[in-house]
Structure 1
């Protein structure tokens, strides 16, 4: 038995394994696509079971395992939300059991804040394999594959994950982007990139629609408004979202709360109100130069959110 630590991390340990079956059970999983690729390149078969407590597992990670890997990677997702699996367990055939507090995430596997123990015990290995098989048989635990039932469950989970991330962006404020990345529950931030300034006609319509909505907000109380053309019901934002906004040339970068959203004739009118105190997930000053470089590309890609990799690229 041995204890792994930040100097001899769980990721480093796994990268040395070859030609084995590796079974991974984790309450949440994110940002570890590259490790899955490495494990497969080393001749391993990877069998994953991930939970959905608090919607912390990344839909992008789930998509990757289902759509972008071969038969050497299998994935079960426990869609039972707060009742889903909360284990942190890795089994390496024929007899290695790894237990600890580390989720299958970039931060978790680094062991900068977690711990785990490597135990070599064939009986314990077999016992845990049987217990993992039993969890996979529970209703609500689904094998990731292209079928309508799994796709429907994943889409519902994707919306839950989006709402959770939007809630986190609204409710927390970090000193800087580095601190935001230090909390692995933060996985995405809504992004809105606009093309041109408002016309007089657009502003007149926005003011008229707001007055007609009878929500008691005067036009002078509007800090900024945005427009988004799309079919009704497919807007990728919701009222209350904290959104990183910018013009497509990388200027006018800032966080805005989408306080009021109205739909009229093929256009969503989005209003941000004036407040005594403006919260934001983290301060942007040090990241603005790198954001300015990335925003035109994100605009061309029609991005509506940023993930941890995107944030990492502009704050580190």
Structure 2
């Protein structure tokens, strides 16, 4: 039996495996694409079962894993009742079990511990348990029609969970971007990139909509203008929702700051107005002082316009932070 920790990591245990069938059961999976690609390149077949507790796993990341050749992905869509194991079976008879999820941080076992041992009886026992799990209701194979149906609802629930997460952070202390990314629950950053300054007609219409919205929400009228800032789009629909905390800036990366979109409403001019009300608490997901330059460069380099989502993996790459 061998102890797996920060000195002898989970990644160390699997980095040299080749021509093997690997079975992984984990509650969470993120920041492991490179590891999986390495295993596939060494002719490994990897079977993954992942849970959906707290809607932690990013739908985009699951899709990136599911399409990899040599990867057999199943998702347990039972939410809070879904699988919470951290189990790794490596042919022929190696078993790894402990606290690390199959994530970038879990592979480092910097805060986790596990044990590795070779035992044919236990290997077969765990393999049988995995086979039973695969037959459980709502444990569904990636790419099937049933998977697409479940994923549609999961994506909606994931967005709600992330909005709640952003709101909770914004209402507390403001971490650095590295501290914010250190929390694996923060899976994405919402951006809105605008092109031109507003003219007086749009400003007046936004003020009228905000005054009406403030009265409807019984907000105090302590300010002459109820608007902190507002944004518009001609798009018929937007993925942004009222209450979202969004990083907004111009296409040049200028005027970058966080805003809480308290009111999203269609104006009489056909534009969709997204308004941050002064009566709400200013929102900050993380401190922009160290992050603004790189984020502005990202916006310019990728020629971003309108609503954009940056995933956790993309942010880690942008800030050169190891998962």
Which bin holds the TM-score, normalised by the shorter protein?
over 0.9
Secondary structure at 1:304's aligned position in 2?
A: strand
CA contact (8 A) 2:19 2:44 kept: yes
Aligned residue pairs total 311
Q: How does 1:165-184 map to 2 (within 5 A)?
A: 165-172=162-169, 173-184=173-184
Are residues 1:230 and 2:227 paired? no
Secondary structure at 2:225's aligned position in 1?
A: helix
CA contact (8 A) 2:239 2:307 kept: no
- Deviation, 1:91, is 0.4
Partner Cα separation in structure 2 for residue 12 and residue 227 of structure 1: 50
CA contact (8 A) 1:192 1:245 kept: yes
Q: How does 1:10-89 map to 2 (within 5 A)?
A: 10-67=10-67, 69-70=68-69, 72-89=70-87
Partner Cα separation in structure 2 for residue 133 and residue 110 of structure 1: 28
Partner of residue 126, structure 1: 124
CA contact (8 A) 1:243 1:256 kept: yes
Partner Cα separation in structure 1 for residue 197 and residue 305 of structure 2: 20
The C-alpha deviation readout for 1:165-196, integer Å capped at 9, x for no partner, is 22111112442011111111111121111111
Pair 1:107–1:191, CA change in 2 (3 A): same
The C-alpha deviation readout for 1:53-89, integer Å capped at 9, x for no partner, is 000112122101223x12x210000001001000011
Pair 1:33–1:211, CA change in 2 (3 A): same
Q: How does 1:154-233 map to 2 (within 5 A)?
A: 154-172=151-169, 173-213=173-213, 214-215=215-216, 216=218, 220-231=225-236
CA contact (8 A) 1:193 1:299 kept: no
- Deviation, 1:20, is 0.6
Partner of residue 107, structure 2: 109
Partner Cα separation in structure 2 for residue 152 and residue 264 of structure 1: 34
Moved over 4 A (4+): 216-219
Question: What is the RMSD computed on CA atoms of the aligned residues?
Answer: 1.9
Partner of residue 311, structure 1: 315
CA contact (8 A) 2:191 2:247 kept: yes
- Deviation, 1:114, is 0.9
CA contact (8 A) 1:32 1:61 kept: no
Partner Cα separation in structure 2 for residue 205 and residue 140 of structure 1: 48
Structure 1 residue ranges without an equivalent (≥5): none
- Deviation, 1:300, is 3.4
Partner Cα separation in structure 2 for residue 118 and residue 238 of structure 1: 46
- Deviation, 1:263, is 2.0
CA contact (8 A) 2:251 2:305 kept: no
Q: Which moved more, 1:212-221 or 1:25-34?
A: 212-221
Task: Report the TM-score, using the length of structure 2 for normalisation.
Answer: 0.90
Q: Which moved more, 1:159-168 or 1:83-92?
A: 159-168
Secondary structure at 1:300's aligned position in 2?
A: coil
The C-alpha deviation readout for 1:192-235, integer Å capped at 9, x for no partner, is 1111111112112222333444425566121001112222xx32
CA contact (8 A) 1:244 1:256 kept: yes
Pair 1:88–1:174, CA change in 2 (3 A): farther
Pair 1:169–1:212, CA change in 2 (3 A): closer
Task: Report the TM-score, using the length of structure 1 for normalisation.
Answer: 0.92
Q: Which moved more, 1:79-88 or 1:275-284?
A: 275-284
